[in-house]
Amino acid sequence: MENILLVLNIIFAVILVLLVLMQKSEGGALGIGVSQESFMFSRSAGNFMTKATAIVATLFIICSLGLTIVSRGDLAPTSSVLDTVEEKTEDTPSIPENNN
């Protein structure tokens, strides 16, 4: 199941990148330099490419969450690394008794 979700996640990611790259740039970078031309074409914002991008992005997120949930079961709770380290008394330097 985990392998299927992983392959689907990679496929969705590639499709999402291709859809974003194929879309026409609308310019106006975050609303800066808005022209009258962009107002004229604002109705066409809900075209096929935009809807397909939204659907694939949603599927990618759902697949990523599913992959996280499935792989979480494989993780076993472990103790801390610091709990397994044993103090070695022979490695620690001793304090000299007489500082003359």
Reported as a single tens digit per residue, the pLDDT across 41-62 is 555 555 888 899 999 999 999 9
Q: Which domain holds residue 8?
A: 1-23+46-72
Say what the pTM is. Answer: 0.58
Query: Confidence class of residue 85 from pLDDT cuts 50, 70 and 90?
Result: low
* Cβ neighbours of residue 50 closer than 8 Å, sequence gap 6 or more: 23
Decide if 62 is inside a domain. yes
Query: Confidence class of residue 63 from pLDDT cuts 50, 70 and 90?
Result: very high
Decide if 34 is inside a domain. no
Q: Which pLDDT value is given to residue 83?
A: 65
Decide if 2 is inside a domain. yes
Q: Which pLDDT value is given to residue 62?
A: 96
Burial 26-43 (b: 16+ CB within 10 A, else e): eeeeeeeeeeeeeeeeee
Decide if 99 is inside a domain. no
Decide if 56 is inside a domain. yes
Decide if 32 is inside a domain. no
How many domains, the chain? 1
Query: Confidence class of residue 9 from pLDDT cuts 50, 70 and 90?
Result: very high
Decide if 41 is inside a domain. no
